[in-house]
């Protein structure tokens, strides 16, 4: 009797950790009123579905806003659209994209969303934002939430005209920070590490395409490093390519699966007036198990794509 009660209590404790997080990608707020309205509708959809979907975090994966002037500040406009998520009890996590970098708006990104990073530091566990080399304004940070370790990594090239990823392997750069973070982060269960980037951690092997992603050599370094952590790293979430699709990243002599890279389409209509979809991806974390005796040492994830257009 007592043993049965203990099992029920432990099972209830596991269910209590279940939650969902949402992904928004490439809002392109400077694109005009339609883009702003689409982001607004995506935010409204998340707020309206917060209770039903158990959405507790929102990641906005780059190409949020850029450019402007003293009187017109798209970055501030984007923040104003996203801030109601905070009021609804759903903190959002902004991640920069190549458009912010290429338009020299990365410092504007850092300054505009600094209050949001400060808010996050008070709501999640072990929030840490790396300083990085002077002049690059790298936006690298990580935190823990309900057993998951979220790594938001900035591999965006700072070279003018290069809209792809580089490792930033210099002292204080993204690559050494990324390695140290994964080596030292808590790993209470398998598949607990989630990597978020604007440009996905994958490559095609076609140089003309990979200049917008990673070089083959850089991607090999990432796979070689992550291979021993394949039981710890679950997924990479990104945008950039304006499509919904996935790629299983494999490595080692037996091409073992290391992680899955999930791409999410933009929130607006591309081209304007064409697809009429406002994409929101949301992910259930550790949902109710389908098996009567699930492996309680592994965190599981369930993917969902929604069109938030009314």
Q: Sort strands 141-145 and 125-129 into parallel, antiparallel or unpaired.
A: antiparallel
pLDDT band at 276 (very low <50, low <70, confident <90, very high): confident
**Is the pLDDT at 289 greater than 60, yes or no?**
no
Q: Is the pLDDT of residue 261 over 80?
A: yes
What integer pLDDT is reported at residue 8 of this predicted model? 33
DSSP-derived 3-state class of residue 44: helix
Count, in order, helices (H) and strands (E) of the chain. Answer: 11, 12
Task: Fold for 17-307, please state it.
Answer: Purple Acid Phosphatase; chain A, domain 2 (3.60.21)
For helices 74-82 and 33-48, the axis angle rounded to 10 degrees is 20
**Cα–Cα distance, 254 to 35 (Å, whole number):** 44
25 and 266 in contact (C-beta within 8 Å)?
A: yes
> Which tens digit of pLDDT belongs to each residue from 164-178?
999 999 999 999 999
Region 193-204 average pLDDT: 96
- 129-182 pLDDT, tens digit each: 999 999 999 999 999 999 999 999 999 999 999 999 999 999 999 999 999 999
**Tens-digit pLDDT profile for residues 22-32:** 999 999 999 99
Q: Counting Cβ atoms within 10 Å, is residue 122 exposed (0-12), middle (13-18) or buried (19+)?
A: exposed
* Distance between CA atoms of residues 256 and 279, nearest Å: 31
Region 218-243: what's the mean pLDDT?
A: 96
Give how far the C-alpha of residue 270 lies from the chain's centroid of Cα atoms, to the nearest Å: 21
Q: Are 164 and 201 in contact (CB under 8 A)?
A: no
The residue extents of the domains of the chain are: 17-307
């Amino acid at each position: 009797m007592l043993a049965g009660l203990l099992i029920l209590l432990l099972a209830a404790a596991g269910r209590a950790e279940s939650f969902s997080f949402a992904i928004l990608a490439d809002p392109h707020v400077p694109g005009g009123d339609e883009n702003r309205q689409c982001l607004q509708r995506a935010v409204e959809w998340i707020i309206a579905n917060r209770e039903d979907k158990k959405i507790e975090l929102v990641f906005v994966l780059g190409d949020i806003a850029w450019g402007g002037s003293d009187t017109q500040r798209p970055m501030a406009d984007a923040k104003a659209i996203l801030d109601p998520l905070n009021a609804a009890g759903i903190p959002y996590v902004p991640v920069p994209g190549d458009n912010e970098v290429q338009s020299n708006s990365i410092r504007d990104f850092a300054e505009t969303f600094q209050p949001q990073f400060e808010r996050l530091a008070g709501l999640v566990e072990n929030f840490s934002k790396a300083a990085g080399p002077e002049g690059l304004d790298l936006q690298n940070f990580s935190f823990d939430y309900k057993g998951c370790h979220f790594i938001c990594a900035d591999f965006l090239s700072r070279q003018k005209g290069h809209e792809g990823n580089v490792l930033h392997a210099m002292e204080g750069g993204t690559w050494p920070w990324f390695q140290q973070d994964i080596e030292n982060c808590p790993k209470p269960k398998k598949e607990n590490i989630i990597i978020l980037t604007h440009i996905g951690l994958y490559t095609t092997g076609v140089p003309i395409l990979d200049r917008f992603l990673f070089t083959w050599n850089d991607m090999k370094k990432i796979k070689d490093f992550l291979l021993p952590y394949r039981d710890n790293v679950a997924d990479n979430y990104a945008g950039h390519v304006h499509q919904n699709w996935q790629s299983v990243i494999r490595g080692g002599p037996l091409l073992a699966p290391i992680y899955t890279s999930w791409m999410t389409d933009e929130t607006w209509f591309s081209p304007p007036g064409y697809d009429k979809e406002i994409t929101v991806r949301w992910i259930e974390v550790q949902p109710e198990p389908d098996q009567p005796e699930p492996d309680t040492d592994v965190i599981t994830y369930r993917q969902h794509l929604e069109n938030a257009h009314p």
